[in-house]
Chains A and B, each alone.
Chain A
Amino acid sequence: MDDPLNVFLWLIFPYICLTIFILGHIWRYRYDKFGWTSRSSQMYESSILRWANPMFHFGILAVFLGHVMGLGIPQAWTDAVGISEGMYHFMAISVGAIAGVFTIVGFIGLLYRRRFTKAVLGATTKMDKTMYFTLGLVIVAGLANTVSGVAGAYNYREGVSIWFRSIFYFNPQPDLMVDAPFTFQFHALIAIFLFALWPFTRLVHVFTAPVGYIFRPYVLYRSRDAHAGSRDVRRGWEKVDTIPKRRPD
């Protein structure tokens, strides 16, 4: 705990990245709605994307749910409903490994087409490359953790998970991470960095996943006046007939 490096890595750095993550998204949504897209390259190349992209996305959705389970739900809760550590461990490793393999195979397919389809490579920005590199490291390290879990040496639910939740309680316990194996430390650190990159990459599309489609009517109508665009009118550009908000007297 006294080591300033540990304090920085497991306390200060996560909070910095989390702040960037939240403020970055607010900033991006306010000022770059036009850039808020998945920037699909399917038009250039579809034959690899057709299998690799769903594989990656469904894989990583399963991985995400696994993290919700592993990081979000305290061991005491699963114990309480009668899931033993052994059962949990077996499930997490087997399902996690399948999801991880899906994710990584899909990811490799996507990387391959991005590198070797000239049009796709041409549409790849520096930020894309940074993001792919970081995301790749996170996935590889994460899968390594899952595989190493077969040996059962480290129970992350007694270490990493508690540290992760402690950040959100604003009662951080960096010591827990100091004791974790290197691959867990590495995975966590790179993942935190990825969250800081997130708002400035195409990953923002995750937060506009269109689940509302299931519930809305097929044909949408909008009035011309109500939405000239979905942007707010900038100060000083309001129409003259806009009645200003009444100030308190």
Chain B
Amino acid sequence: MRVMAQMAMVMNLDKCIGCHTCSVTCKQVWTNRSGAEHIWFNNVETRPGLGYPRTYEDQEKWKGGWTLTKRGRLKLKAGGRLKNLMTIFAAPNLPGIKDYYEPWTYDYENLTTAPAQDHMPVARPKSLLTGQDTTVTWSSNWDDDLAGSVENTHHDPILQKVGDKIKFEYEQTFMFYLPRICEHCLNPSCVSSCPTGAIYKREEDGIVLVDQDRCRGWRQCVGGCPYKKMYFNHKTGKVEKCTFCYPRIEIGQPTICSETCVGRLRYLGLMLYDADRVLEAASTPDEHGLYEAQREVFLDPNDPEVMREALKAGIPEDWVEAAQRSPIYALINKYKVALPLHPEYRTMPMVWYIPPLSPVVDAVSDTGEDAEKQDNLFAAIDKLRIPIEYLAGLFTAGDTKPVDLVLHKLAAMRSYMRDINMGWEPQESIAESVGMTGQEVQDMYRLLAIAKYEERYVIPSAHYEDAHKLENIATECSLDVDGGPGMGGMGGMDGSFAQDPDMGKDPGLGSPDVPGRPEGVRINLLNWDGQGTPEGLFPESSSDSAASPQGGSSS
């Protein structure tokens, strides 16, 4: 047994409203640059739909991920090592910029500089590649909310597998959102495709990163990743990818997409797994067995032997403890409601999803029946085969049994909790019908529906140990201490917010006496004419600061 820790994510799709806040905040933080216009570390797809880049799931076309040889060994679908090197001069499976979209901006200047004329001046779209007029025909979410579905949706590779005949009915009854980031796989095919060895998996937390100093732009990883989450920056000539916001994770903060998620649908936590068994699990002959095989690679963090081995492998004690409290472990292995995205790619993805029950609920309520009654929901799950098959195409390589089971659990939870919320007698039989106890249902309800910040995100800080704290002191202004006259430093650029005891707590629930920047007082010294003392430039006198708890803190 070789215990390794992996930072993982689960998304509860029932709660996703498709607002794209995650995509926007991610872009603002990471890819708001020239050359990275098409790079969306996080994107939200409407399903059924083409996805981003278009039809990325069609591996017969893009050749991403792994495949099994006749002898049952894992091989990159794009070909072996020699073929990889021989095709280096023209990467065979590289999406063109048109498969993403041609980046554009608008000629806003024309709005203010156009001469007087009969018609309103307009801001024409201009291509950012050529600088010329362009027609906007696609973007990262052009088929949002099934827009243009008559034209596009039948190209959805998953829908094509479900079959064409039911397509029309399907579109009328079923739609959900699928937010996607890099899967930070246990058996990553991008890492394996990189000729240079610039992509690596971090030993400590399993986050997959690209060393920008070592990447030479051979682009084989772009084709190698079946999720198309390796992006070629066309200005720098290097590949970039979702970083799992590692600088935030290292100091115990959730990723920016999780932090800003309006629906609070993302969960973050550790998974312990047996690295020795990854390859064997990824080589499971039957595609339908891959979901179970991956679950078996995960280790029970409460098992004394696992704990012993984890410590022996150098995993710190607080990390093991965090793995025990991990919401990911609860959702994947305890309640078994989270499923991997496309296990058939054999990369062992580590961003999992709770499939949405809402289409089933909608279908029942559309008929005017009680959509919180267990029998109605169960019957609808059994009847709505097309959505279930579609979900299975996404999450279980087409095997509908696990999806059925998850949806039954979610339906049972809905019915069971309705009784409690209405003040009625809870029916244990509902819980038992999905193999759970009433208490377990209530616990799951708490995690899924109440979803407290501290329970959604269980992120142990990285171990800089004392050296890091010392470094922080050494790199900050020595006067910049609580109550001191310092100027506030760089507000976390140097990781100093690691020491803020209130970071990592739910900002919505924060206590009012949080020390930090006083509200509404920000000093810009560049605007100061040197006359007088602007408010807040100096800390208030000690008698004042005693009255105002915020006065003495750095501003």
Contacts and interface: CB of A to CB of B under 8 A. Distances in A.
B467 A214 contact: no
Contact of A40 (B192, B202, B217): B217
B214 A230 contact: yes
B261 interface: no
A222 B207 CA distance: 10
Nearest to A213: B195
B43 interface: no
Contacts of B202: 221-224
A221 B237 contact: no
A119 B134 CA distance: 12
A213 B94 contact: no
B72 to A, nearest CB: 16
Interface stretch (B83-91, B168-176, B535-543): B83-91
A57 interface: yes
B81 A119 contact: no
B216 A37 contact: yes
Given A40-B237, A219-B187, A231 B213 contact: yes
B129 A118 contact: yes
A45 B94 CA distance: 11
Given A122-B130, A222-B202, A223-B204, A42 B91 contact: yes
B466 to A, nearest CB: 8
Interface string A2-34: 000000000000000000000000000000011
Nearest to B470: A240
B200 A221 contact: yes
A119 B238 contact: no
Contacts of A229: 211-213
Nearest to B92: A50
A123 B196 contact: no
A208 to B, nearest CB: 5
Contact of A224 (B82, B203, B217): B203
Interface in A208-227: 208, 210-214, 216, 218-224, 227
A21 B466 CA distance: 45
Contacts of B218: 38, 40, 210
A58 B87 CA distance: 11
The DSSP consensus for interface residues of chain B is loop
Contact of B217 (A39, A50, A58, A222): A39
A37 B85 contact: no
A249 interface: no
Interface string B209-234: 00111111111000000000000101
Interface in B127-177: 127, 129-132
A102 B297 CA distance: 51
Given A219-B192, A222-B202, A213 B89 contact: no
Interface string A200-211: 000001001011
Nearest to B86: A54
Contacts of B194: 213
A185 interface: no
A44 interface: yes
B197 interface: yes
Given A37-B237, A213-B84, A239-B467, A220 B200 contact: yes
B301 interface: no
B138 to A, nearest CB: 15
A41 interface: yes
A205 B84 CA distance: 17
A224 B81 CA distance: 27
Interface string B520-555: 000000000000000000000000000000000000
B236 interface: yes
Given A43-B94, A56-B89, 9 more contacts: A38-B218, A40-B91, A43-B97, A46-B94, A53-B90, A208-B196, A213-B85, A221-B201, A221-B202
9 contacts: A34-B236, A38-B217, A38-B218, A39-B217, A123-B234, A205-B216, A219-B188, A229-B211, A229-B213
Return the 10 tightest CB-CB contacts between A and B, nearest first: A210-B195, A241-B467, A39-B237, A218-B192, A33-B213, A119-B129, A37-B217, A37-B237, A118-B130, A222-B200
Interface of A: 33-34, 36-46, 49-51, 53-54, 56-58, 118-119, 122-123, 205, 208, 210-214, 216, 218-224, 227, 229-231, 239-241
Interface of B: 81-82, 84-85, 87-91, 94-97, 127, 129-132, 187-188, 191-192, 194-197, 199-205, 211-219, 232, 234-238, 250, 462, 466-467, 470-471, 474
